[in-house]
Each structure stands twice: as structure tokens, then as C-alpha cells.
Structure 1
Amino acid sequence: MLVAAAVCPCPPLLVPDVAAGAAPELDTARAACTDALGVLAASLPDRLLVVGPAGQSGRGPHPEGTRGSFRGFGVDLDVRLGTGNAGPAATERELPPSLAVASWLLERTGWCQAPVEGLGVGEPLAAERCIAVGREIGGRPERVALLVMGDAGACRTLKAPGYLDERAAGFDADIARALGSADVAALKALDAELAYELKVSGRAPWQVLAGAAENADLAGTLLYEDAPYGVGYVVAAWS
């Protein structure tokens, strides 16, 4: 059963070592992520499941202890998912970047409340499949908390990675409203094609959250919403 959820953005720039001189620009977002993780800790879960967008090589489950790094972003920094010992399955592949950022957040806040596992979700995964995956998570007998990673549109300004798309601001506002109010129906109804066109990386993970929260009576709080680099970042907590 789902007892709490935190929604955080997943740009590697959230990690100060990666952002370097630009690090202070995301201090407010980092603080909001810390607050959201505090809500997860307060829920006293039996297990924390981290869900984030992933490419082909990072899809599927990642057991506790799986390692990730930011070397691909020019920084010699390693992270590990959770605090448990890495078994053989955890050494087979690295975490996708979204789960590496989540691992950094967990290490930064000293997460030790419950075992952690990761799930990389393919960004093109159909809404129905995302929701079904979420239902499986929500149907677990143990108390599960979710840390859901993903960015909103990358088309908010002329200098954004996807250039300026006039549809992006409205779509991102709808996302922020849904995540901030724990609106499961609105998340299920997100337009996957439009999300793809606007380079929204969080659509699939958010729809996993929607499936997991179907039978959970959770209220949402929007902790942060901005687009400092032309990419929409949202932080929310459900409890």
C-alpha cells in the first residue's frame, strides 16, 4: 500500500558538483527536494521505491546497492542506491541518470528509514502500462513510499533544450496543478504524445505514481515549480 510520495526533478545540474558555478541557481529546488524527502521519512515506510525515466539500458528494476556515477557529465562522483550491500544483481549495470540523481538526494539527506529499490521506466511506455505497473506497486501488502523523478517540458524559453514551444507553459502548469493536488485522474489523462513533443521526461513515472495512488487517500502539496533553464522542474509531496 502506498503511504507517501515525493516528486522531484532529475536534472544532473541538481548535483552541485555537476552544476559547478551555477549551483546556487537551484538551491531553492534542492531545499524543496529535502522537504519532500522529509515527508517520505515521516511516513515510516517499510520500503522506498525510486521511479525515474530511463533509456533502454536503464529500464527495469535496480536492486539496493546498485551504483551510478556522474562521469558522463564530466564529474568524478559515484553514488549508490540506498545503504544496503550490493549483491551480484546490483553490479550488472549502472543506474540511469534520473536514479543517480535520486541516489544523490537520498545520500544528501541521510536516508536510512527503509530499504530502497529502483525502477527505471522507459519514457515512451504507454499510459495504460504505466498505470498497471503502479497498481502492482500500490497493491503490495507492505507500506511503500515512492520517490518519483522526472522533469516537465524542456521547451519553455528560446534557450531551452527543446527551443520555445508556446504550448509548454500551459502543459507544465497542468502538471504542477495535478502533482500539487495529488490529482490521480489528471495524471492518468496526461497526453503522452504532447508530452513527447515537449520533451517531458516525467510523464511515464508520474503515471506510475497515479496507478499506485488509486486506492490511497493522499493529499498533495506543491513545494516548488519553476523553469530556471527553460525546463520545468516540479517538487511535490503526497501524504
Structure 2
Amino acid sequence: MLVAAAVCPCPPVLVPEVAAGAAPELDAARAACSDAIGVLAAARPDLLVVIGPAEQNGRGPHPQGTAGSFRGFGVDVDVRLGPVPPEAEAVSEVGAEGRRELPSSLAVAGWLLERAQWSAAPVEGLGVGEPDEAERCIQVGGGLGSRADRVALLVMGDASACRTLKAPGYLDERAAGFDAAVGRALGEADIEALKALDAGLAHELKAAGRAPWQVLAGAAEGAALRGELLYEDAPYGVGYMVAAWS
């Protein structure tokens, strides 16, 4: 049963070493993420499932202890998705043969969990594809609640990337309205509104969080959780939101 969820953005610039001189610009976002993860810990889950957007080679399950890094962004920072379980010590090296590295979104989640010194429950990761249809995402989410008696979710994903002229997707006048609707849905734990998000529009607006949010909606069915929007801004023309459900 789903007992809590945290929604966080997943730009690598959340990691100060990646952001470099611009790191202070996201201090408020980092603080909100910490607060949201605190809500997860307070729920005393038996299992934490981390969900984030991923390219083809990063989709699917990622076991606890899976390694990731931000070396592709020019910094010597390695992370793991929770501590390496004893049975996995033999293949614990970064990039060990037969073990995939974390997709970027789950690497950011791993960094957030390390920063929060997460020890409340075992951790699993799930990379989901941006093209996945809403029905598929909802179905996947529906199966997560049965993974343990008390399940918590850490849901990674950004809103539109078209809020300003300098945004990655340039300015799209539809972006502000889309992000406002997502913010309301996350703040109110409105699972029907999340289920109804238009996948085509989300794709056009480069909103990578759409699929993970709809997985959350499927998992939250019948859980009667309440939501709170802890942070909402678009400092680089990309919508970043943090929410906590409990």
C-alpha cells in the first residue's frame, strides 16, 4: 500500500558540483527536496521505489546499490541508489560488467538520498520511458503498491522546458498553463488530473515528468493521500516542482 510520495525535479544542476557557480540558484529547490524526503522517512515505509524518466537503455528496474555518476557533466561525482546490499558487494564497482548505470534522473535521486542520509527502508529504482502511454504508466503504478505492506515513492521529473526564450525548448505560450495545472494536481494529490495529462502536449513541451507522475497516479489509487506543493519555479525556463504526499 502506498503510504507516502515525494515529487522532485531531476536536473543534474541540483548537484552543486554540476551547477558550479550557479549552485546557489537552486538552494531553495534542494531544501524543498530534503523536506519532501523527510516526509517519506516519517511514513516508516518498508520499501522506497524511486521512479524517473529514462532513455531506452535506462528503462526498467534498477536494484539497490546501482551506481551512477555525473562524469558526463564534467564533474568527478559518483552516486549509488542506496547502500550496496551485502549480496551485491562482488559487483559493486562503478560500471561493473553486467550492471547498468543509473539514468540521469535516478542518479539525481541517488544524490538526494545520500544527502538526506536515507536509511529508512530498502530502495529500488524504476526508469520509465517518455513515450509510454498514460494507460501503461497507470498500470505500472498500480502494481507498485503491492510490493510491500508500506510503500513510499520518490518520483523524479521536470515540468515543461519551454517557459522562456532561453529555455531548452524555446518559449511556448502553452507551457505556463501546463505547468500550473501540474502544480495544482501535485499540490492537491489529484490523481485524476495527473492521469488526464496530455502525453502529446507534454512531449511537445519537453515535460519529462509526465510519465513518472502518471505512474504515481496509478500507485496512489485508493490511498487517499493529501498533497502539499513545497516548491515551484522555472529558474532556467524549465518548470521545477517539489511536492509531498502523505
Q: TM-score, normalised by structure 2?
A: 0.95
Counterpart position of 2:54: 54
Counterpart position of 2:107: 100
SS of the aligned residue for 1:136 comes to helix
CA contact (8 A) 2:46 2:148 kept: no
Counterpart position of 2:6: 6
Structure 2: distance between partners of 1:41 and 1:29: 19
- The correspondence of residues 87-236 of structure 1 with structure 2, limited to 5 A, is 87=88, 91=96, 92-236=99-243
Structure 2: distance between partners of 1:136 and 1:198: 28
What whole-Å deviation, never above 9, does each CA across 1:91-129 have from its counterpart, x for those lacking one? 411000000000000000100010000000011100000
SS of the aligned residue for 1:229 comes to coil
CA contact (8 A) 2:7 2:154 kept: yes
Q: How far off is 1:138 after superposition? A: 1.9
Counterpart position of 1:71: 71
What whole-Å deviation, never above 9, does each CA across 1:128-158 have from its counterpart, x for those lacking one? 0000000000233421000000000000000
Structure 2: distance between partners of 1:23 and 1:228: 12
Structure 1: distance between partners of 2:33 and 2:75: 22
Q: How far off is 1:215 after superposition? A: 1.3
Counterpart position of 2:18: 18
CA contact (8 A) 1:151 1:232 kept: yes
Aligned residue pair count? 239
SS of the aligned residue for 1:13 comes to helix
CA contact (8 A) 1:156 1:164 kept: yes
SS of the aligned residue for 1:7 comes to strand
Structure 2: distance between partners of 1:89 and 1:33: 30
Which stretch shows the higher mean deviation, 200-209 or 84-93? 84-93
Q: TM-score, normalised by structure 1?
A: 0.98
Structure 2: distance between partners of 1:141 and 1:80: 22
Paired amino acid for 1:78: D
Structure 2: distance between partners of 1:71 and 1:142: 37
% identical aligned pairs: 77
Unaligned runs of 5+ in 1: none
CA contact (8 A) 1:156 1:168 kept: yes
CA contact (8 A) 1:139 1:212 kept: no
Paired amino acid for 1:189: A
Q: How far off is 1:84 after superposition? A: 3.0
Counterpart position of 1:38: 38
CA contact (8 A) 1:125 1:204 kept: yes
Structure 2: distance between partners of 1:185 and 1:47: 25
What whole-Å deviation, never above 9, does each CA across 1:14-38 have from its counterpart, x for those lacking one? 0000000000000000000000000
What whole-Å deviation, never above 9, does each CA across 1:153-188 have from its counterpart, x for those lacking one? 000000000000000000000000000110000000
Unaligned runs of 5+ in 2: none
